[in-house]
Amino acid sequence: MYEKRINELTQAISTFFEKKGDNFAKIVQELTDRLSKNQKILIFGNGGSASQAQHFAAELVNKFLLERPAISAVALTTDTSVLTSIANDESFDIVFSRQIEALGIKGDIALGLTTSGNSPNIIRAVQTAKEYGLFTIVLTGEGGGKIGPLPDILCDIPSSHTPVIQEVHLLLLHLLAEEIEKSVGP
């Protein structure tokens, strides 16, 4: 009954690691290096990607699998007063970029999540992060969309099916949390 969906997901995962595994390894290295130097990670996305941003931040600040020191991570999707004031007074297109201006410091990491790669507020956030000297990473769907050429590292999932993209993003975020915890130690 669910065979088609399961096959689609497992194919996307195996194809990603065969073709883009090096990009993922680079992300692990950048995150562990920068977080070990007390940099922070700013995470953002819309809709389901917003919830994944919050989920990942919680696993870093609190814990994923290991008891260890807290890791500096902020989901830019959680402060409703900031989000709604920026969207109301200015534009929804800058709800994340404005926060990066306020919170980002050169050397920090900006991690965007977008299934399409075409969300104006994610594109703007990555552009702003680069202007401010943050290292930029984007997880997206196949081809990367309009955001494709912008980040320092793009991890585009080989699928155009939103649920599959989101499921692989969650797997990648869990793998990142596990690797980061190993590097921080107990």
Domains of the chain (ranges plus CATH)?
Answer: 36-184 (3.40.50.10490)
- pLDDT in the model for residue 153: 97
The angle at the Cα of 103, spanning 99 to 107, to the nearest 5 degrees, equals 120
Residue 166: per-residue pLDDT:
97
With CA atoms as reference, report the closest residue to 95 among 82, 78, 108: 82
Answer yes or no: are the C-beta atoms of 100 and 109 closer than 8 Å: no
Closest-CA residue to 97 (of 73, 65, 133, 124): 124
pLDDT of residue 186: 64
DSSP secondary structure code for residue 171 in this structure: H
> Rounded to whole angstroms, how far apart are CA atoms 173 and 175?
5
pLDDT given for residue 125 in this prediction: 98
Give residue 72's pLDDT: 95
Query: Which tokens sit at 2?
Result: 């669910």
- pLDDT at position 183 is 86
Task: Fill in the DSSP letter of residue 63.
Answer: -
Residues 145, 114: contact at Cβ < 8 Å? Answer: yes
Local structure of residue 145 (DSSP, 8 states) = G
Count, residues in the chain: 186
Helix (H) or strand (E) holding 33: helix 3-36
Spatial separation of the C-alpha atoms in residues 142 and 126, rounded to whole Å: 18
Residue-level pLDDT at 2: 86
Print pLDDT tens along the chain (186 aa). 689 889 999 999 999 999 989 999 999 999 999 999 999 999 999 999 999 999 999 999 999 999 889 999 999 999 999 999 999 999 999 999 999 999 999 999 999 999 999 999 999 999 999 999 999 999 999 999 999 999 999 999 999 999 999 999 999 999 999 999 988 766
